[in-house]
Amino acid sequence: MIKSVIIIILSFILESNLSNFISINTNFFNTFLVFSSLIIIDNILESKESLYIFAIFTGILYDLVFTDRIGYSILTFLIGSIIIKNINKISKLKVNIINYLIILIMYRLISYTILLLIGYLSFNPLKLFHSIYSSIILNLLYIITLKIIFIRGKS
Amino acid sequence: MRKKKKERKKIIILVAILLIILLSLVIVIDDERKLTKFEKVIKDGVVTLSNFVSAPFLTIKNKFFSESKDDYQYNLEKQESIGLSNEILKENNELKELLKLNETLSDREYINATVINRNIAYWFNEITINKGFKSGISEGMAVINSKGLIGKIIKTSANTSKVKLLTDEHMEDKISVKIEYNDHFVYGLLSNYKDGEFIINGISNNIEINEGAKVITSGLTDLFPSGILIGYVDEVTFDNFDLAKTLKVKSEIDFDDIYYVTILNRNVDNNND
C-alpha cells in the first residue's frame, strides 16, 4: 500500500511539472502518467476491489488538482482500472508491453468517448490520434521504469 | 429463466447508472462552474507543494533557455504595449483627453504570472498559472503575452488560476474582432480554430482585405477589452456562393509553448463623477 501511495505522489508531481519542460508538440508529452501508474499499482495491490477504490481516490485527487471537473477522472480511472484488471481477457497476448499499449489506447478512447457523449468535444479523430501517439512513448517508458523499481522481484 | 431476468435487470441498472453519471458530468464539466472552497484549498495546497519541488528545475531551465526568460522580461518591461494595438492606445489617450477622464473602460492593470502546468488531461486546452484571487485575478479576465491574446481566466483559487486557451473549441465563437483595412476596421467573429489558424467568416465581398492585415479584439462583447492582438490575416478565400470572404488568421503565439503570461485587469474607477 505504501508503495502504491509513493507511486501516485511521484506520478502527480511528474505529471504536474513535466508539462513545463516538455512541449505538447513532441512525441514525449507526459499527460496520463497518473493513469499509467495504476497499471503498476495493479501488480502491488492484491485484490481488484482495492485497485478500484485506489482508482476512485486517485481520480478524485486528479480532478481536484488538475481538471477541476469532479467526476470525470473518477469515471475514467475506474473504467481504466476495470480494463487493467481484465486485460488478459481482452488481449490473448502474454506480452506485457503490448498489453500496456492496449490499456493506454483503450483508456484514451474511453476518456475521449465520454467527452464526445456529453457534448464537450466535437468529433475529431486526428486529435484523438495525436493524444495517443504523442504520449505513448513516455507513458510506456514510465510504466517500465516503475516496474523495474517497484516490482522487480514479483515478475 | 430467472437467471436471464436477473441479468437483464443488472444490465438495465448498469445502463441507468451510466446515464445518470453522464448527465451529471454534463453539469460538472461546465467551464463556468466555480470552484468550491474545498476544491480551492486542496488545489492551492498541492500546487504549492508541486511548486516547491519544481523550483530548482525551473531555475536551471530558465538559466539555459533564455528565450522564455526574454519573454518574461519583455512582459515586465513593456507592459504598456503587450499585445495592444498602437491604434487603440492612441485612441484611448485621445478619449481620455477629450472626456477628461482619469480612467476609461479600457484602462487596465497588468498582472504577470508564470505557467505552472499546461494542458493536463489533454482534452481541456487549459493552462494553470501561479496567481489567484489573492493577486486580484478573477474569472473572465483576458490573458495575453507579448504576441497577443492567449485566452481568459475561467477558474481561480487563492494562489492559482486556470486559463482557457483561445484555441479551445468552447472559446472562439464568442470573440468579436476587427480587421484592419485601408486605415479602417471591419468587424467580424472568430468562428473556428483549425490547423493552427482562426477562421473569420462572413466578411463582405466589397471590402478589400489583404494578407497580413492585423486582427484585434473589438471590445464589443464584455469578454475581452478592445485592441488586443489576435494575429494577422494569412489567407483570404471566398465562400461557396462567392458572396462573402473567409479569412484565415494566424496567431504568432505557439499555444503549446506558453511559459509566462500577463493578465489584464480592467481597472474601472467608479468615482469618475
Whether chain B has a CB inside 8 Å of the CB on A21: the answer is yes
Q: Indicate the domain borders of chain A.
A: 27-150
**pLDDT class of A155 with cuts at 50, 70, 90:** very low
**DSSP letters spanning A89-126:** HH-----HHHHHHHHHHHHHHHHHHHHHHTTSS---HH
Is the confidence metric ipTM above 0.90 for this complex? Answer: no
**Taking CB atoms and an 8 Å limit, are B54 and A72 in contact across chains?**
no
All three cell numbers of A127: 486529435
* Burial class of A33 by CB neighbour count within 10 A (0 to 12, 13 to 18, 19+): buried
Whether chain B has a CB inside 8 Å of the CB on A19: the answer is yes
Mutate to test the interface with B, among A58, A66, A116 (most CBs of B within 10 A): A66
- Chain A residues in contact with B119 (beta carbon < 8 A): 19, 24, 31
- Chain B residues in contact with A69 (beta carbon < 8 A): 25, 28-29, 124
Residues 141-170 of B with CB under 8 A from A: 155, 162, 169-170
Residues A11 and A14: their CA atoms lie apart, in Å, by: 5
> How big is chain A, counted in residues?
155
Pairing assessment for the beta strands B244-250 and B229-238 based on DSSP bridges: antiparallel
- Chain A residues in contact with B29 (beta carbon < 8 A): 69, 71-72, 115, 118, 120
Residues 134-153 of A with CB under 8 A from B: 135
**Taking CB atoms and an 8 Å limit, are A23 and B120 in contact across chains?**
no
Element (H, E) at A137: helix A125-150
**DSSP letters spanning A5-32:** HHHHHHHHHHHHHHTTTS-TTSTT--TT
Report which of B127, B203, B138 is spatially closest to residue B163, judged by C-alpha positions: B127
**Taking CB atoms and an 8 Å limit, are B39 and A25 in contact across chains?**
no
Top pLDDT among B269 and A98 is at A98
**Taking CB atoms and an 8 Å limit, are B39 and A119 in contact across chains?**
no
- Between the alpha carbon of residue A123 and those of residues A117, B41, B166, the distances in Å are 10, 35, 19
Assess contact for B129 and B249: CB atoms under 8 A. no
**Taking CB atoms and an 8 Å limit, are A118 and B162 in contact across chains?**
no
Residue A30 has a pLDDT of: 59
Residues 205-264 of B with CB under 8 A from A: 256-257, 259
Element (H, E) at B106: none
Report which of A37, A10, A113, A55 is spatially closest to residue B18, judged by C-alpha positions: A113
Residue of B nearest to A114 (CA): B22
> What is the CB neighbour count within 10 angstroms for residue A17?
20
**Taking CB atoms and an 8 Å limit, are A66 and B47 in contact across chains?**
no
Q: Give the angle B60-B157-A24 at the CA atoms, nearest 5°.
A: 45
The closest CB to that of B42, out of A64, A119, A131, belongs to A64
Report which of A84, A61, A86 is spatially closest to residue A74, judged by C-alpha positions: A61
Separation in Å, CA of A154 to nearest CA in chain B: 31
pLDDT in tens, chain B (273 residues): 677 788 788 888 888 887 888 888 777 777 777 788 888 888 888 877 877 777 777 777 666 654 544 454 555 454 445 555 555 565 566 556 545 544 444 556 788 888 887 767 777 888 888 888 888 888 888 888 888 888 888 888 888 888 988 888 776 556 888 888 877 788 888 877 877 788 888 787 777 888 888 888 887 776 788 888 888 888 888 877 777 888 888 888 888 778 888 888 765 444 443
Task: Find how far residue A29's CA is from the centre of its chain.
Answer: 13
Assess contact for B263 and B137: CB atoms under 8 A. yes
Top pLDDT among A67 and B70 is at A67
Element (H, E) at B128: strand B126-129
Whether chain B has a CB inside 8 Å of the CB on A71: the answer is yes
> What is the CB neighbour count within 10 angstroms for residue A92?
6
Residues A19 and A30: their CA atoms lie apart, in Å, by: 7
- In this predicted structure, the answer to whether residue A153 has a pLDDT above a threshold of 60 is no
**DSSP letters spanning B28-94:** HT-TTPPPPHHHHHHHHHHHHHHHHHHHHHHHHHHHH-HHHHHHHHHHHHTGGGTTB-HHHHHHHHH
Report which of B239, B74, B221 is spatially closest to residue B147, judged by C-alpha positions: B74
Residues B34 and A69: their CA atoms lie apart, in Å, by: 10
Highest mean pLDDT (candidates A26-30, A101-105, B30-34, B194-198)? A101-105
Helix (H, G, I), strand (E, B) or coil at B237: strand
- Chain B residues in contact with A120 (beta carbon < 8 A): 29, 123, 170
- Between the alpha carbon of residue A49 and those of residues A9, A78, A82, A103, the distances in Å are 21, 11, 10, 19
> What is the CB neighbour count within 10 angstroms for residue B10?
10
The closest CB to that of A131, out of B25, B53, B122, belongs to B122
Query: pLDDT tens across A51-65, in order?
Result: 888 888 888 888 888
Assess contact for B161 and B155: CB atoms under 8 A. yes
Whether chain A has a CB inside 8 Å of the CB on B173: the answer is no
Residue B102 has a pLDDT of: 44
Partners of residue B188 on adjacent β-strands: B177
Partners of residue B184 on adjacent β-strands: B181
